[in-house]
Amino acid sequence: MQIGDIKINKITRLAPMASISNIPFRLIALECGSGMITSEEIDSAALVSGNVRTNYDIAGYLPEEKPIALQLLGATDKTLVPAAMILEDRGADIIDINMGCPMRKITKTGRGAAMMKDIIKTSKILRSIRSAIKIPLTIKIRGGWDDQTLNAPDFARMAESEGVDAITVHPRSRTQKFTGYAPWDVIGKVVDSVNIPVTGNGDVLSMNDAKKMKDQTGCHSVMIGRAAIGNPWIFSEDFEKLSSNDKYDYKNKIIRKHMILIREYFRDSAALLQTKKHLCWYAGSNRMVRPFRKKLFNAKSISEAEDIFEKFWANTIKNDRNINYEKIPLTIN
Looking at this protein, which amino acid is placed at residue 56?
Y
- Summarised one tens digit per residue, pLDDT across range 112-152 is 999 999 999 999 999 999 999 999 999 999 999 988 888 99
Q: Which residues contact 151 (CB under 8 A, 6 or more apart)?
A: 116, 119, 144, 145
E strands of the chain, at which residues?
2-3, 6-7, 12-14, 37-38, 42-43, 68-73, 94-99, 137-144, 166-173, 198-201, 221-224
- Summarised one tens digit per residue, pLDDT across range 277-314 is 999 999 987 777 888 999 999 999 999 999 999 998 88
Whether the pLDDT of residue 1 is over 80: the answer is yes
What SS3 class is residue 42?
strand
Q: What is the Cβ-side half-sphere exposure of residue 236, based on CA atoms within 13 angstroms?
A: 15
Dihedral, 20, 23, 29, 31 alpha carbons, nearest 10: -160
List the domain boundaries for the chain. Answer: 2-235, 242-327
Q: State the Cα–Cα distance between residues 56 and 61, nearest whole angstrom.
A: 9
Q: Which residues are catalytic?
A: 101
What SS3 class is residue 273?
helix
At 308, which helix (H) or strand (E)?
helix 302-318
**CATH number belonging to domain 2-235:** 3.20.20.70
Helix 152-161, helix 184-193: angle, nearest 10:
30
Compute how many other C-beta atoms are within 10 angstroms of the C-beta atom of residue 290. Answer: 9
- Summarised one tens digit per residue, pLDDT across range 247-271 is 989 999 999 999 999 999 998 899 9
Mean pLDDT to the nearest integer, 96-103 = 96
H-only helix segments in 150-267:
152-161, 184-193, 207-217, 244-265
Q: State the Cα–Cα distance between residues 88 and 10, nearest whole angstrom.
A: 24
Mean pLDDT estimate for the chain? 93
At 96, which helix (H) or strand (E)?
strand 94-99
Q: State the Cα–Cα distance between residues 294 and 298, nearest whole angstrom.
A: 6
pTM recorded for the entire structure? 0.93
Q: State the Cα–Cα distance between residues 289 and 280, nearest whole angstrom.
A: 8
